[in-house]
Amino acid sequence: MATFFPGESHTFSEYLLVPGYSSSECIPNNVSLKTPLTRFKRGEEPEISLNIPMVSAIMQSVSGVDMGVALATEGGISFIYGSQTPESEAAMVKAVKDHKAGFVESDSTLTPDMTMEQVIALKDKTGHSTMPVTDDGTPRGKLLGIVTSRDYRPSRDDHSKKVAEFMTPRAELIVGDKDITLKDANDLIWDKKLNALPVVDDNDHLVGIVFRKDYDSHKTNPNELLDANKRYMVGAGINTRDYAERVPLLVEAGADVLCIDSSEGYSEWQKRTIEWIRANYGDSVKVGAGNVVDADGFRFLADCGADFIKVGIGGGSICITRETKGIGRGQATALIDVCRARDEYFEETGVYVPVCSDGGIVYDYHMTLALAMGADFLMLGRYFARFDESPTSRVNVNGQYMKEYWGEGSARARNWQRYDLGGAQKLSFVEGVDSYVPYAGSLKDGVNGTLYKVKSTMCNCGALSIPELQEKARLTLVSATSIVEGGAHDVVVKDSQQTVSYN
């Protein structure tokens, strides 16, 4: 006879935290959100820890290069999507690894034969007055000179004058070598009283420009997640079919951690994938696996050697797996079950395998709940898709700014494979939808606002760290009626459309 899991399966909105005692120490500024990303033995430190418990979903509409840079800047990590060729995925990983904080790629590069008229127009458009001049007019071309507002006088000069006639030529420029650190670049800027330092490679091609005003960029991003060579950390999605081809390219490109991307992870395919990685790279390549929704699935992947394990089937905002295939489990119940299994596994083996709660986070408080239930970190799709840094463009839908967001199992994501990989995959059903999500501005502002709320709630629970929250949190299930009580109720909420008079 089939196994029946006891009780119902619940989701985040059906739980609340009951506050615990908070001492005067419990203020958001004292809270640390540092959390393990990869497995470690009792008494040892994980090889990779995150500074904030957030990773971006392995999705075309979420995790590209800009997301990788922006999230690592805040202390989390992106998993570049795997539903593209191994070569293009590796190129994205490399672009994040090559990104040098504070080394700006100019958006107003000139060629020597452009006119002052064009320079003035470009300056009006971009607002930037420092413009490199390259042989081909691209920000990676051979550096020929630089134009700043000190090089010309729009009110007096002939606007048809060529850039070559008034730029400061290469021979007179102080430049930085491509391997220069941001600190040394800034020192040079201060020592030589420069406003900007062009940085060039061995062939004198422009790599970027360091501006004087960026001097404090490290201080403004104290959580940034860097590798031993001070490059941003980045992850990459893999699958259980082409790993022998894909993994070497991703490792070569510098990926810090991989993750098998699948809606169902309790499978021989995942075992084989992890075994192949261990046979070829030992423990030096970190790989997460999933997704699972119960203790059996967790234990299987932990025994296979997964570095972290993702939990969640069918809870994603764009996911219709439960409707289509009838598999899954309420995210909160699945998470609680798996985290209990993780703790038992740790007791038995002395090996801690971090758990990632993947999908279904709707409100910021759901993040705190997931951490309280035992998650070490969270994978978020919808949340990150809303920001400037997601790979999709902002669109205006009925007067409201939106970003596009589609599932990896949607017709849209699969169409990409069908069209671009030569008709290899013709799938007869979809597990995800194509949607819009409300635009939410910059990742930095959004993440900082969210994490301030998470830290405040942790303080209400008397916790100054995630492990402390997991130990001290007191959770309660709520009835449907008490959920109504939790919103504004029995009042007429004010809105700008109402007509009000005071007599």
Q: Which stretch binds ligand RVP (CB under 6 A): 13-21, 226-234, 250-258, 406-414?
A: 406-414
Residue 330 found at the interface with ligand RVP (CB under 6 A): no
For ligand RVP, the closer CB: 176 or 359: 359
Give, in order, the Cα–Cα distances in Å from 478 to each of 13, 72, 213.
Answer: 8, 36, 51
Does 408 bind ligand RVP (CB under 6 A)? Our answer is yes
Contact 321, 313 (CB under 8 A): yes
The interface region with ligand RVP, picked from 9-17, 209-217, 355-363, 445-453 by CB under 6 A, is 355-363
Residue 137: CB partners within 8 Å, gap ≥ 6? 109, 110, 111, 114
Judged by beta carbon, residue 11 or residue 106, the one nearer ligand RVP is 11
Q: Which of 431, 435, 469, 473 binds ligand RVP (CB under 6 A)?
A: 431
Q: What's phi and psi for 444, nearest 5 deg?
A: -55, -50
Written as one string, the DSSP assignment of 291-359 is EE-SHHHHHHHHHHT-SEEEE-SS-STTB-HHHHH-----HHHHHHHHHHHHHHHHHHHSEE--EEEES
CB of 312 to ligand RVP, least distance (A): 6
Residue 450 and residue 364 in contact, taking contact as beta carbons nearer than 8 Å = yes
Residues forming beta bridges with residue 142, ordered by sequence position: 205
Output 407 or 446, the one with its CB closest to ligand RVP.
407
Burial 16-48 (b: 16+ CB within 10 A, else e): bbeeeeeeeebeeeebebebbbbbbeeeeebbb
Integer angstrom CA distances of residue 468 from 28, 309, 443 = 14, 21, 27
Radius of gyration of the chain (CA): 26
Q: To the nearest whole angstrom, how small is the minimum distance from the Cβ of residue 356 to ligand RVP? A: 9
Give the shortest CB-81-to-ligand RVP separation in angstroms: 10
Catalytic entry in 212, 231, 278, 418: 418
Q: Out of 31, 48, 59, 93, name the contact with ligand RVP by CB under 6 A.
A: 59
User: From the list 86, 132, 328, 407, which residue makes contact with ligand RVP (rule: CB under 6 A)?
Assistant: 407
Helix, strand, coil percent values for the chain (each to nearest 5): 35, 20, 45
The number of beta carbons lying within 10 Å of the beta carbon of residue 268 is 10
> Which pair of tokens denotes residue 451?
């994490």
Catalytic: 319? Answer: yes
Residue nearest to ligand RVP (CB): 432
Q: How many CA atoms lie within 13 A of 416 on its CB side?
A: 15
Q: Which residue has the tokens 């958001």?
A: 28
Report the residue from 311, 379, 440, 443 that binds ligand RVP according to the rule CB under 6 A. Answer: 379
C-alpha separations of 377 from 8, 64, 181 in Å: 25, 20, 31
180 vs 313, which CB is nearer to ligand RVP? 313
By CB under 6 A, residue 329 contacts ligand RVP: no
Least distance (Å) from ligand RVP to the CB of residue 259? 10
Q: Could you say which of 170, 329, 342, 382 contacts ligand RVP (CB under 6 A)?
A: 382
* Active-site residue, from 26, 319, 356, 459: 319
- In angstroms, rounded to a whole number, what is the distance separating the alpha carbons of residues 418 and 411? 10
Interaction pattern, residues 293-322, with ligand RVP; x per rule: CB under 6 A: -------------------x---xxxx-x-
Number of residues this chain uses to bind ligand RVP (CB under 6 A): 23
- Residues annotated within a binding site for NAD(+): 261-263, 312-314
| Residues 410-429 contacting ligand RVP, CB under 6 A | 410
Q: Does 380 bind ligand RVP (CB under 6 A)?
A: yes
Region binding ligand RVP by CB under 6 A among candidate stretches 190-198, 373-381, 393-401, 444-452 = 373-381
Interface residue with ligand RVP among 57, 289, 451, 461 (CB under 6 A) is: 57
Choose one: 22-30, 112-120, 403-411, 481-489; the region binding ligand RVP (CB under 6 A): 403-411
Binding residue for ligand RVP, selected from 89, 256, 337, 358, defined by CB under 6 A: 358
The count of C-alpha atoms lying within 13 angstroms of the C-alpha of 489, restricted to the half-sphere facing its C-beta, is 7
Q: Which of 137, 138, 139, 119 is nearest to 129 (CA)?
A: 119
Q: To the nearest whole angstrom, how small is the minimum distance from the Cβ of residue 157 to ligand RVP?
A: 54
Closest by alpha carbon to 383, among 78, 93, 97? Answer: 78
Question: Of 237, 359, 374, 391, which lies in the binding site for ligand RVP, with binding defined by CB under 6 A?
Answer: 359
Residue 390 tokens read as 């997601």
DSSP assignment letter at 205: B
Residue 84 interacting with ligand RVP (CB under 6 A): no
For 133, half-sphere exposure in the C-beta direction (CA atoms, 13 angstrom radius) is 25
CB 176 within 8 A of CB 188: yes
CB of 321 to ligand RVP, least distance (A): 5
List, as residue ranges, the binding site for K(+): 314, 316, 319
**Residue of the chain from 381, 391, 446, 462 that contacts ligand RVP (CB under 6 A):** 381
Task: Decide: is 440 part of the binding site for ligand RVP (CB under 6 A).
Answer: no
Residues placed in the known binding site: 261-263, 312-314, 316, 319
Q: Can you give the binding site for ligand RVP, defined by CB under 6 A? A: 57, 59, 312, 316-319, 321, 358-361, 379-383, 407-410, 431-432
Q: Catalytic residue positions? A: 319, 418
